[in-house]
Amino acid sequence: MTSLLAIAVQFLILTPWRIQQVTSWILSTQSSQLDMADNAFDDQYEGCTKEMEKKAPQLLKEEMRMNGLLRSEWEKAEEYWKQNMKKRINYPKQFNDFHGTALVAYTGDIAVEFNRAVREFRQNSLNFHFKAFHYYLTRALQLLSTTECYTVYRGSKTKFYHSKRGSVRFGQFTSSSLDRTVATRDYLGAGGTLFTIRTCSGVDIQAFSTKPHEKEVLIPGYEVYQKVTVQGTNEKRNEILLESPKKMKSTFNCFHISTGNTRVGDNNFARSGRTLPTSQPYPHHLCDNHLFTVWKERKP
């Protein structure tokens, strides 16, 4: 009979192929609870955009020195923006190269790592090296925002659940698509979740995307859905309807201006009137790039 020690040794000494098998098994069985994503960094920079426009360029340089992924993706996106997009896209007067580059970069290979850092900000704020990127991406969506609402579909490989009580939000930037096939074919796992979402904060960024065929609409993480309906739950996948969207006051606002550093400060909680719960393990919300299908609707 094989000893427990022998089994442990066999488990620890994993070949690359075995590691891939274990990783695939973990991802295939992943599940998560929909909630208000209280650990997420949700700054809307209300009242401090002028200060951030002055501070962010230097902040970006510093973070690019510390974050190799950010540096690589930003440099590629900056070149793509200036050579292929800047002169052929209509955008607001306040919209600048930083905003455009941030949108292009997000549609590249930075989204997964960036959104993970955003979701887990409260537990790891000192190592959050996306401060400038978060500002530029948030500001870009604010400047491009219109009066239109959308009904969107989101395919996820994660199986989500809801307690049937309370509002929810994603807490991170959430991708979407005008093409339903993109959401179901490329992003919906066999045991995952299909979301139907009404959003009034999402922005069509297809013109800024390195993958225009995905017809992407990007939703900021601070949009809250007050009505949650779980539909068609079965062993294969869940279907969840999110409605009654609203833009909620953020837990963090002007965080990098009011605190002067990256520490989680009490001033930000008092500013929003909300209290965060005690630290607890945060589920891996939306770790891969999921997409939606969207139809335009006029805001009421």
Query: How many CB atoms sit inside 10 A of residue 109's CB?
Result: 15
- Over the Cα atoms of the chain, what is R_g? 20
Active-site choice (125, 156, 175, 177): 175
CA–CA dist 184, 197 (Å, integer): 14
Query: What digits encode the pLDDT tens for the residues 265-297?
Result: 333 433 333 333 333 333 333 334 444 444 444
H-run or E-run covering 239: strand 238-247
- Return all residues near 34 (Cβ < 8 A) that are at least 6 apart: 160, 161, 162, 168, 228, 240
Q: What is the pLDDT of residues 173-230, one digit of tens each?
A: 998 788 878 877 777 777 788 888 899 999 999 999 999 988 898 999 999 999 999 8
Catalytic residue, candidates 119, 154, 169, 271: 154
Strand arrangement of the beta sheet that strand 216-219 belongs to: 174-177, 216-219, 203-204
pTM (predicted TM-score) = 0.78
Between residues 6 and 88, the one the model is more confident about: 88
79 is catalytic: no
CB distance 122 to 38 below 8 Å: yes
Q: What is the DSSP letter of 207?
A: G
Catalytic residue among 156, 216, 237, 271: 216
Per-residue pLDDT, 289: 44
> Are the beta carbons of 222 and 42 closer than 8 angstroms?
yes
Is 216 designated active site? yes
The answer on pLDDT for 298 being more than 70 is: no
Look at residue 99 and tell me whether its pLDDT is greater than 60: yes
For the stretch 248-267, pLDDT in tens is 878 999 999 866 544 443 33
The pLDDT of 74-79, averaged and rounded, is 98
| Mean pLDDT (whole number) for 67-79 | 98
Mean pLDDT for the stretch of residues 36-64 = 97
The tokens for 240 are 């969840």
Long-range contacts, stretch 121-128, CB < 8 angstroms, 24+ apart: 121/39, 121/40, 121/41, 121/264, 122/38, 122/39, 122/40, 122/41, 122/264, 122/276, 122/279, 123/39, 123/279, 123/282, 125/41, 125/262, 125/263, 125/264, 126/262, 126/263, 128/41, 128/262
Helix (H), strand (E) at residue 19? helix 16-28
Rounded to an integer, what distance in angstroms lies between the CA atom of residue 97 and that of residue 114? 20
Q: What is the pLDDT of residues 117-159, one digit of tens each?
A: 999 999 999 999 999 999 999 999 999 999 999 888 888 888 8
Of 26-35, 187-196, 228-237, the one with minimum mean pLDDT is 26-35
* Domains (range + CATH), the chain: 32-298 (3.90.176.10)
> Percent of the chain beyond pLDDT 70?
74
State residue 9's pLDDT score. Answer: 44
Cβ atoms of residues 262 and 126 within 8 Å: yes
Lowest mean pLDDT among 10-24, 76-90, 156-170: 10-24
Query: Active-site residue 154, yes or no?
Result: yes
